[in-house]
Amino acid sequence: MIYTILVLLAGLVLLILGGDFLVRGASGIALRAKITPLVVGLTVVAFGTSAPELLVSLKAALAGTPDIAIGNVVGSNICNLALVLGLTAVIRPIGVNKDSLKFDWPMTMGASLLLYFLVLDGWVNTLDGTLFVAILILFTFFIIRKSRKETKATEALEDLDIPAPSGNPVKDYLFVLLGGVGLYFGAEWFVGSSVTLAAFLGVSERVISITVVALGTSLPELFTSVIASIKKETDMAVGNLVGSNIFNILSILGITSIVTQIEVNELMRDVDMVWMLAITALILPMMLTRRTVSRLEGGVLLTVYVVYTYSVVS
């Protein structure tokens, strides 16, 4: 039991470090290739920060544990909006950017609804995955085009938090290599130990994926958001978390299901996805009221997360 937990934690650390190294190296290579910082931020950085979730879902699907593959995404989305956003707002009220209301939230809700209706047949298949990736590409082009037209382009670039290239190009390629190795072994250890832990505790892979796996892969967002809240830098918190949910569905499930179709059990579809939709809907009135997610509303989100998690494990 202790060995399994240590392997799980080691896998999680490798996933987080691997994702960070990949972002640093790939961003440096892209910037050296004269790709604009805006494009790098919205593609390379966005993809790199979601790489741990992607590798976990892909490894789980290929290993024949579909509940972990899809539970990782659904659970992470719930975690982002209920736990991470809730805790961040409790620490300090969060202002809501107008773009989060006009574009990010509708896109998140739309992607979530599309996922729900597509899995009514019990599968996320190759055609579904292709559709997800196509929508993501179109949305990314829309965001890039929109950002280029905005007068405050400089401020927008600062919000992307793009790592600067290292002084040595070889170091950037080394970062990519180390990131890839870390992600591979991190996913291998994390998924394998999660399955072992589920068997040891006598619970389903769904329960482990929704709780342990989802929380683990959401830790970077949790740490980043909490630190930003403490530093009074929460202006982009809602947009970043909602944007992460968009990427989780369209990219992670999209790419994974193109490689291998994912079976979706009825509990995941009829319970967990409904919770995901309900929580996504719940944050809209919070965003609309005074364009701020207050401490009270953050407390409501945290309570919802606790109730949901209790319902899963009980």
What string of DSSP letters covers 85-121?
A: HHHHHHHS-EE--HHIIIIIHHHHHHHHHHHHHHGGG
Q: What pLDDT shows up at residue 181?
A: 92
CATH number at residue 257: 1.20.1420.30
Q: Is the dihedral of CA 200, 204, 205, 206 positive or negative?
A: negative
What's the pLDDT tens digit per position in 86-138? 999 999 999 898 888 988 899 999 999 999 999 999 999 999 999 999 999 99
Closest CA to 67 of 251, 265, 217: 265
Is this prediction's pTM over 0.85?
A: yes
Q: What pLDDT shows up at residue 157?
A: 47
Residue 16 lies in domain = 2-313
Q: What pLDDT shows up at residue 153?
A: 47
What whole-number distance in Å separates Cα of residue 209 and Cα of residue 67? 7
- Spell out the alpha helix ranges (H) of the chain: 2-32, 37-40, 46-49, 51-62, 66-78, 85-91, 98-99, 105-118, 126-149, 153-160, 169-201, 205-208, 214-230, 237-247, 254-259, 266-267, 273-288, 295-313
**Residue given tokens 């290929």 in the structure block:** 62
Contact partners, residue 8, CB within 8 Å, separation at least 6: 189, 190, 193, 194, 197, 212, 216
Amino acid at 272: D
What's the pLDDT tens digit per position in 11-37? 999 998 988 888 888 888 877 777 766
pLDDT digit string (tens) for the chain, length 314 residues: 889 999 999 999 999 898 888 888 888 887 777 776 656 665 676 677 778 889 999 999 999 999 999 999 999 999 999 999 999 999 999 989 888 898 889 999 999 999 999 999 999 999 999 999 999 999 988 887 877 666 454 444 455 566 766 667 888 889 889 989 999 899 999 999 999 999 899 999 999 999 999 999 888 888 878 887 887 776 677 887 888 899 999 999 999 999 999 999 999 999 999 999 999 999 999 999 888 999 999 999 999 999 999 999 98
**Residue given tokens 């966005």 in the structure block:** 46
In the chain, how many domains are there? 1
What whole-number distance in Å separates Cα of residue 121 and Cα of residue 75? 21
Q: What is the DSSP letter of 260?
A: S
What string of DSSP letters covers 136-155?
A: HHHHHHHHHHHHHHSTTHHH
